[in-house]
Amino acid sequence: MKIQGKNAVSEAIKSGTTIDVVFAEKGTAHPIIAMCREKGIKLKFVDKYYLDKESFDGKHQGFIAHISEFEYSEVEDILAVAEERQEPHFIVILDGILDPHNLGSILRVCECAGVHGVIIGKDRAVPVNETVIKTSAGATSYMKVARVVNINRVIKELQQKNIWVYCADMDGEDLFKSDLRGNLALVIGGEGNGVGKLIKDSCDKVVSIGLHGKVDSLNASVACGVVVYEALRQRKL
């Protein structure tokens, strides 16, 4: 797998991700160079045209790294993070996120907000790929992501562990009047279709972000940011 960009490459190095080689544009003096040499990571200086050819979108910022495939976590690994931090569980579940830019942005939001992990489905969902890693600005190096066959089953298992599961959708209780403290998993739906009916029906509660303009929906990553940070605000009170 390739990752590119200064943030993605530097965070991968800091987090200890297995890196086969880092390609850097000739003449660059970015701190990434010193980090590679300090950690003994193979470093190759190449012309810009080589990076342009290797890049999947041309936005490499002078750095491309070859790393091992993204390593998914288990749901139990996510639960263990809360126990290690001695915090109430704080989980995000994604249903049908198909846009890698949205997934990358969501992982960035979740990492910044201290979410313990993100659960995605294996079907009807984008995996963690190069675009996701680039868009996350390095968050994928720290955020645990579990990829599961059946989200509905996972929701039931979380509920059995006394974790409340709340779905964000249009017809729910006012988000800002809802109690988002304690053990919590937040379900965010995909672009266009939102949360599937079966998953929505499995949740303990539906919460809604009030919209006051003419457009009737928010981008999935924006909606996730609003919901997650309201939960974080309440948990800090």
Is 208 found in the same domain as 100? yes
**Mean pLDDT lowest for which of 86-100, 166-180, 208-222?**
208-222
Q: How far is CA 19 from CA 70, 80, 110, 111, 145, in A?
A: 11, 26, 24, 22, 19
Is 91 found in the same domain as 15? no
Local confidence band at 193 (pLDDT 50, 70, 90 cut-offs): confident
Is 118 found in the same domain as 217? yes
Q: Please name which of 138, 157, 135 lies closest in space to residue 146, comparing C-alpha atoms.
A: 157
Instruction: Tell me the residue type at 233.
Output: R
Q: Is residue 98 pLDDT above 80, yes or no?
A: yes
Is 84 found in the same domain as 63? no
For the entire predicted model, the pTM comes to 0.87
Is 50 found in the same domain as 117? no
pLDDT in tens, 36-53: 999 999 999 999 999 999
What is the C-alpha separation between 5 and 30, in angstroms, rounded? 12
- The residue-averaged pLDDT of 139-156 equals 96
CATH number reported for the structural domain that contains residue 6 in this entry: 3.30.1330.30
Among 50, 67, 84, which residue terminates a domain?
67
Among 67, 92, 107, which residue terminates a domain?
67
N- to C-terminal Cα separation, the chain: 42
Local confidence band at 191 (pLDDT 50, 70, 90 cut-offs): confident
Q: How many structural domains compose the chain?
A: 2
Is 40 found in the same domain as 128? no
Is 219 found in the same domain as 126? yes
Higher per-residue confidence, 86 vs 194:
86
Listed in sequence order, the residues at least 6 apart from 39 whose beta carbon sits closer than 8 Å to its beta carbon are 13
Local confidence band at 77 (pLDDT 50, 70, 90 cut-offs): very high
CATH number reported for the structural domain that contains residue 119 in this entry: 3.40.1280.10
Is 216 found in the same domain as 101? yes
What residues make up the domain containing 184? Answer: 75-235
Q: Which H or E run includes 156?
A: helix 151-160
Among 19, 46, 67, which residue terminates a domain?
67
